Amino acid sequence: MKLDATSTDFRAAGHKSLEAHVQVKPTAADRPHWEWNREHLTELCVVSGIDVDPTDAAGPTEIRVVEAPGPTCPRCWRRTGEASGSRHDPNLCRRCAAVVEKLPLQNGAGEKGSAA
Ligand SMILES: [Zn+2]
């Protein structure tokens, strides 16, 4: 596996891991592992996203880190490159917007009256 110098430069520049988007060019042998586990690897590596190049690496698997495009989701802090435009917060990512949409409203619901 060949880690591009951008990954160490990225941390040295003071970026957080969730500001990272990882680009992987795997060998033909490594490709199934990257593609099948991409969502889990994104969570485990605490990065905003992982792209797997459709072409195979000629040598070892190549990994490059770039800054993920904004905006930053105010709930999960990921940068998915698109905002949901949610009525709760327009910068929520689509995944968080779907979760927040299902949450009960705080005003009225669940209140049991005054305790006094
Ligand atoms: Zn989110």
pLDDT at 4: 73
Structure confidence by residue, pLDDT tens digits, 30-86: 999 999 999 999 999 999 999 999 999 999 999 999 999 999 999 999 999 999 999
- Tokens representing residue 113 in the block: 């009256």
Ligand 1 centroid to Cα of residue 73, in Å, is 5
Q: How many residues does the chain have?
A: 116
What average pLDDT does the segment 2-31 reach?
87
Ligand 1 centroid to Cα of residue 40, in Å, is 16
In the chain, the percentage of residues whose pLDDT exceeds 70 is 88
Total number of domains constituting the chain:
2
Based on the fold, state whether residues 55 and 99 are members of the same structural domain: no
Q: Which of 45, 21, 44, 25 is nearest to 35 (CA)?
A: 25
The pLDDT of residue 110 is above 50: no
Based on the fold, state whether residues 63 and 96 are members of the same structural domain: no
Strand partners, 25: 62
- Tokens representing residue 70 in the block: 């904004």
Ligand 1 centroid to Cα of residue 77, in Å, is 6
- Give the best-scoring range by mean pLDDT among 3-17, 25-39, 96-110: 25-39
Ligand 1 centroid to Cα of residue 11, in Å, is 22
Q: What does the alpha-carbon distance between residue 2 and residue 59 come to, in Å, rounded to a whole number?
A: 9
Based on the fold, state whether residues 51 and 38 are members of the same structural domain: yes
Task: Tell whether 111 is covered by a domain.
Answer: no
Domain membership of residue 83 as a residue range = 69-104
Residues, CB-to-ion distance under 5 Å, ligand 1:
73, 75-76, 93, 96
